[in-house]
């Protein structure tokens, strides 16, 4: 599909971050442009790092032509043969596929009759709650299910637990043919899963070495699930390429990702340690979840690049307009000045629903009649933006002309670049996750994984819980 770049360009409006609107609660032009040198240095650092080390994700919009064709062919085969497609994964291996699925497909995709769906029913097992696994097995027929197990290392406890359960069930049901219903997405050369895949004979897709989980949606991690459910994955990549073009400048007037990174870094330096992501479209609900991982894991660090101790980062909060106007916005308007709110709006929804006439005896209801739900959600977004701005709280708006694959690719890539720029300005390693590793290692020790004796001893010597603090 061809996309009109100019008509589909996403835009940002950061008026409500600035002093000209918020007075002394806003950012002055002087403060903003005083960051120009830091912003340029961050831009140059990201440009220099593209395609290297853990920045392999910057190549994904450009270097996957052959992989995309393989994915499309595999997805076509899956749609013909299977009634269910299940992703086994956690973190970026799950959040990206969920976000793209929700954004680009019918909001009740799995409930549609088969003739109206673009592919098999889709599920993502992104937890190890035993009730969740049991519930999945109640609604799928494993004989008619393709499973995609996704883990780069092949030692992710949650994912490999899911794999062990499913593989055992498939072998009991299908014997040697079980291998035909598992696709492995993993590292090409290292880790356990690639060894298992080769031994079992699984169809395999590869996660590039320089692509971490939270940056992996635009590689086979996310593209296979998207293609299976009928999403235009070439459109996703085209949108990402377009955003990369738009961000190919260090200008704080032209580079949208750099502008947003700079604003957030200034806000963090001023003590705004909470970032709220509030899309006004149910299709973008899980973009907020995906963004929370991207922002939190990348920027939450306790040392700078030179080893200087720090405790940096901004806590991301997910919200949904208009749903959370009735649960969170009271805090955002009347609470402390510790937040930046990111609104995401959609100019043209993919359908229009008219509000019919009725309730004539109730003017405070009847005024809605003759309008559309489209008008109502736009009015609610603008009204909430106004109320938050009137209260002196910093916010900015990202507008999508329409929600489709091309605009979603732009949005996700812009957020990835924003995160990389912000990390560079904060002088931290944006791409590691030592805090996550500590929890993983403790889990391994508790469950008896070989090689973790020292960690087990450390846990055994941890302070004991005192009964006076138990109730």
Catalytic residues: 297, 326, 440
Contacts of 12 (CB under 8 A, 6+ apart): 256, 259, 260, 396, 397, 398, 399
Q: Is the dihedral of CA 54, 60, 62, 64 positive or negative?
A: positive
Contacts of 331 (CB under 8 A, 6+ apart): none
SS3 153: coil
CB 190 within 8 A of CB 158: no
Cα–Cα distance, 94 to 159 (Å, whole number): 10
CB 186 within 8 A of CB 220: no
**Concatenated DSSP letters for 346-408?**
ESS-SS--B-----TT-HHHHTTTTSBHHHHHHHHHHHHHHHHHHTT--EEEEEESS-SHHHH
Main-chain dihedrals φ then ψ at residue 317, nearest 5 degrees: -125, 130
Cα–Cα distance, 105 to 467 (Å, whole number): 52
Cα–Cα distance, 349 to 247 (Å, whole number): 26
Cα–Cα distance, 210 to 215 (Å, whole number): 9
Smallest CA-to-CA distance from 390 within 14, 25, 2, 1 is with 25
- Residue bearing tokens 């309730």: 359
Cα–Cα distance, 272 to 314 (Å, whole number): 8
């Amino acid at each position: 599909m061809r996309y009109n770049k100019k008509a589909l360009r996403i835009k940002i409006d950061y008026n409500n971050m600035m002093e000209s609107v918020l007075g002394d609660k806003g950012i002055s032009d002087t403060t903003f442009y005083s960051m120009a040198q830091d912003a340029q240095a961050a831009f140059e650092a990201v440009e220099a790092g593209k395609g290297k080390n853990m920045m392999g994700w910057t190549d994904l919009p450009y270097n996957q032509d052959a992989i995309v064709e393989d994915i499309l062919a595999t997805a076509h085969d899956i749609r013909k043969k299977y009634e269910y497609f299940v992703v086994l994964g956690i973190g970026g291996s799950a959040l990206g596929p969920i976000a793209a699925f929700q954004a680009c497909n019918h909001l009740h995709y799995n409930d549609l009759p088969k003739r109206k769906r673009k592919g098999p029913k889709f599920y993502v097992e992104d937890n190890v709650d035993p009730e969740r696994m049991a519930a999945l097995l109640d609604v799928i027929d494993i004989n008619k299910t393709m499973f995609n197990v996704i883990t780069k290392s092949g030692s992710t406890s949650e994912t490999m637990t899911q794999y062990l359960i499913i593989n055992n069930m498939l072998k009991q049901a299908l014997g040697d043919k079980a291998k035909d219903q598992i696709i492995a997405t993993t590292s090409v050369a290292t880790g356990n899963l690639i060894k298992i895949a080769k031994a079992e004979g699984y169809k395999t897709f590869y996660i590039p070495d320089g692509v971490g989980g939270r940056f992996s949606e635009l590689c086979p991690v996310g593209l296979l699930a998207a293609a299976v459910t009928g999403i235009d994955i070439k459109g996703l990549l085209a949108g990402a390429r377009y955003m990369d073009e738009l961000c190919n400048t260090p200008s704080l007037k032209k580079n949208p990702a750099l502008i947003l990174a700079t604003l957030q870094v200034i806000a963090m330096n001023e003590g705004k340690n909470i970032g709220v992501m509030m899309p006004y479209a149910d299709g973008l609900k899980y973009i907020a979840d995906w963004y929370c991982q991207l922002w939190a894991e990348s920027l939450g660090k306790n040392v700078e690049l030179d080893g200087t101790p720090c405790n940096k980062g901004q806590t991301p909060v997910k919200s949904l307009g208009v749903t959370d106007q009735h649960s969170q916005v009271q805090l955002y308007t009347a609470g402390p000045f510790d937040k930046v709110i990111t609104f995401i709006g959609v100019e043209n929804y993919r359908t229009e629903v008219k509000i019919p006439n009725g309730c004539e005896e109730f003017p405070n209801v009847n005024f809605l009649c003759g309008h559309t739900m489209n008008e109502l959600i736009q009015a609610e977004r603008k009204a909430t933006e106004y109320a938050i701005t009137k209260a002196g709280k910093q916010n900015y708006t990202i507008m999508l002309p329409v929600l489709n694959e091309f605009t979603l690719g732009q949005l996700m890539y812009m957020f990835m670049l924003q995160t990389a720029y912000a990390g560079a300005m904060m002088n931290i390693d944006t791409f590691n996750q030592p805090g996550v590793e500590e929890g993983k290692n403790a889990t391994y020790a508790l469950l008896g994984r070989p090689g973790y004796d020292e960690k087990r001893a450390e846990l055994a010597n941890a302070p004991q819980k005192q009964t006076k603090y138990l109730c």
